[in-house]
Structure 1
């Protein structure tokens, strides 16, 4: 079974990535990936160029977005959530979501608004920055479960997933067991998905320069 990167940032995600669209797609082709997602943080400025470049390189483009969602539990806190379009409806909803964040709610989209735009979308947790993962790290399993049930109810059946990531971080391995348990208890599926911010390991140094 081929692995597909579902959580990918480009240089359009300011302070998150230095990778250009052309580089991402070329690397996917070099590694024989059949498809590739683009999930920039709160923006879709690179969507058209990404779509065209993928078609040129005979790779299936998966259009997506990592959007900040205002927590229903932690007041004044927002956590990212990875969204992927299943179809035309999903793509149109992605455009509505990014427009909402850019023009009406820059701190993040409220859950009650997200519910209206959930059609045609897959969603998966973003890794350690996610609300569910943060709750698990804090030992708040019941809170993580409530959040997981909430997101599962927002999206279409079998369309919300818990991401299992392995960037070699101790924190990730610490919560793997809890994520599996959460999946078993709620029926929410698991997805293997590492966040991509750079293409080659040697690009890590300029990436570190993005943060103070």
Structure 2
């Protein structure tokens, strides 16, 4: 069975991704993967470089973005970044499936910076309804709206979020599960699978890749320490 990475961060996920495009795509090609997606946080800085490197490696490039989605309106900027009722954000993976989808993805990213920026470049459901054509949506990581509500013991809100996203991306919304060895993820995976089956939604497995080789883990952790203002010696940094 072939596997395709549909949730992957490069060095353009600033202070988070440690995958270098020039090294990544040859590795993907040698692994026999027919395609690979780029889904950097809130931007498409690496899209052109990724596309060119993928073609050279005989890999089908899939251009995407892990969007930051405002819990209410993108114009609501009163709360903190972790305030899911006001100024915070959920994560949502979008993948362009056509020229229209690529154009819409560009417009969404632009609007995130020009209209919704609050700690992060955010879009909202209004924009997703307007510009969702040609895009596939994955429910995202533990910071996704569906998984976040399940983590917090709110299955009704998780189902409501999944229903709304399924309406916006009619026939193009996938419930995302990951295998990252986090206990919270393992528990939520079971609930996500049950939710998807109950709603008749398709599942997709991803790895949420941030670095290429096991030995790159320390470099990736250094990036996260810089991002969060922590040090390696701080045992409570996470």
TM-score (norm: length of structure 2) = 0.86
Alignment pair present for 1:94 and 2:105: yes
What is aligned with 1:85?
96
* Contact kept? 1:158, 1:189, Cα under 8 Å: no
Residues 1:113 and 2:124 aligned together: no
- Write out the 4+ residue segments of structure 1 that deviate beyond 4 Å after TM superposition: none
Aligned counterparts of 1:40 and 1:177: Cα–Cα separation in 2: 26
Unpaired runs of at least 5, structure 1: none
Aligned residues: 211
Q: Which position in structure 2 is the counterpart of 1:49?
A: 49
Residues 22-171 of structure 1 correspond to what in structure 2 (within 5 A)?
Answer: 22-72=22-72, 74-107=85-118, 108-155=122-169, 157-171=170-184
Residues 164-197 of structure 1, C-alpha deviations (whole Å, 9 max, x = no match): 1101111111112211111122222110111010
**For residue 195 of structure 1, what is the aligned residue in structure 2?**
208
Find the residue that maps to 1:167 and give its secondary structure. Answer: coil
The whole-number CA distance in structure 2 between the counterparts of 1:148 and 1:6 is 19
Contact 1:161 1:189 in 2 (8 A): yes
**Does the 8 A contact of 2:11 with 2:18 survive in 1?**
yes
CA distance in 1, matches of 2:190, 2:140: 17
- Deviation by residue 1:63-99 (Cα, 9 ceiling, x = unmatched): 0011100114733221110000110000000100111
Aligned to 1:179: 192
Q: Distance in 2 between matches of 1:178 and 1:206?
A: 33
Q: How far apart in 1 are the matches of 2:202 and 2:87? A: 29
Structure 2 contact 91–141 (Cα < 8 Å) conserved: no
Q: Using the alignment, how far apart are the partners of 1:176 and 1:52 within structure 2? A: 35
Q: Secondary structure at the match of 1:82?
A: strand
Q: C-alpha offsets along residues 41-66 of structure 1, whole Å, 9 cap, x if unaligned?
A: 11101111111111111100000011
What is the SS of the residue equivalent to 2:180?
coil
